[in-house]
Amino acid sequence: MTTKVSPSKVAAVDEVKAKVSTTTTAVVTEYRGMTVAEISTLRKQLRTMGGDFKVFKNTIVKRAIEGTLVEPMGEFLEGPTAIAFIDGDISAIAKALKDYAKATPTLIIKGGVLDGKALTVKDVIALAELPPREVLLAQFAGLLAQPMRQLAALFKAVPQNFAYGLSALIDSKGGPQAAPVEAKEELVAETPAGVEEAAPAASDDAAAPVAEVATEEAAVEVVAEVETTEAVEEEAPASEAPAAAPEEGAASEPAE
């Protein structure tokens, strides 16, 4: 004999299957003692956060979640059950349920499921204490950007430290004006002895004009001496010239 399933139960099973097909996260609660108005208020609050809070029969839910990722939450399906299927920030939903349960003790958090893993009450409370999704994303972005900021600061610090070190080195040497003097002293200290001996030869260029002047004066004196000798020879009397030798065979005059 087959048991007929009422159309309402079939519709309820299909509804749960539709929710399970769109989300793998849910929180199971017990609503014993809550009024219809309290359940309605909580449902409206969770809907604004991406949660669908609704009362279901445990047998219908167990049949609908069989073989799905949310099947682990079947262990919490005892007593009057209301499930919040989550299609948003689970930490925000968990925090809203925690705060509402604190204000309304008749709401009891029993557990849940997250991507195929069962969540205990402690897990749900821990999720409720997490910062909102936007804050977590901002913190994560800050962690990603921190190494880049440190690298940029390192690149900036390298030339600054080099400049500071160079400035300190110059100051330890007596300042920028002392640097040429020290460089000159180091150059003299490193100059070979042969170079120092050859250095005075460079002064010959300065003595060259004096030597040229002395040479020109000597030449003038020689020219003047030669001219004087020629003039003396021209003024000598003709009688002083040597007598011509008598021609051969010429008769000598008798002496008187």
**Band of pLDDT at residue 181, cut at 50, 70 and 90:** low
Residue in 87, 156, 163, 92 with CA at minimum distance from that of residue 124: 92
Q: Is it the case that residue 233 has pLDDT exceeding 70?
A: no
> Are 89 and 137 in contact, with CB atoms under 8 Å apart?
no
Q: Is it the case that residue 201 has pLDDT exceeding 60?
A: no
Average pLDDT over residues 163-172: 68
Rg (CA), the chain: 62
Residue in 88, 79, 48, 42 with CA at minimum distance from that of residue 61: 79
- Residue 28 dihedral angles phi and psi, to the nearest 5°: -100, 130
**30-77 confidence digits (pLDDT tens):** 999 999 999 999 999 999 999 999 999 999 999 999 989 899 999 999
Please enumerate in sequence order all residues whose Cβ is within 8 A of that of 132, keeping only pairs 6 or more positions apart, or say none: 89, 91, 92
**128-137 confidence digits (pLDDT tens):** 988 766 676 6
> Are 173 and 179 in contact, with CB atoms under 8 Å apart?
yes
**18-41 confidence digits (pLDDT tens):** 988 888 899 999 999 999 999 999
Token code pair at residue 230: 């020629």
Say what the pLDDT of residue 55 is: 92
Pairing between strand 108-114 and 81-86?
A: unpaired
Token code pair at residue 151: 């690298």
Which of 201 and 56 is assigned the larger pLDDT?
Answer: 56
- d(C-alpha 29, C-alpha 31), whole Å: 6
- d(C-alpha 78, C-alpha 29), whole Å: 10
**100-138 confidence digits (pLDDT tens):** 999 999 999 999 999 889 999 999 999 998 876 667 667
Which of 146 and 83 is assigned the larger pLDDT?
Answer: 83
Q: What is the percent of the chain with per-residue pLDDT over 70, rounded to a whole number?
A: 52
Which of 251 and 185 is assigned the larger pLDDT?
Answer: 185
Distances (CA, A) of 202 to 40, 186, 195, 199: 111, 22, 11, 6
Task: Say which range, 35-39, 155-159, 242-246, has the weakest mean pLDDT.
Answer: 242-246
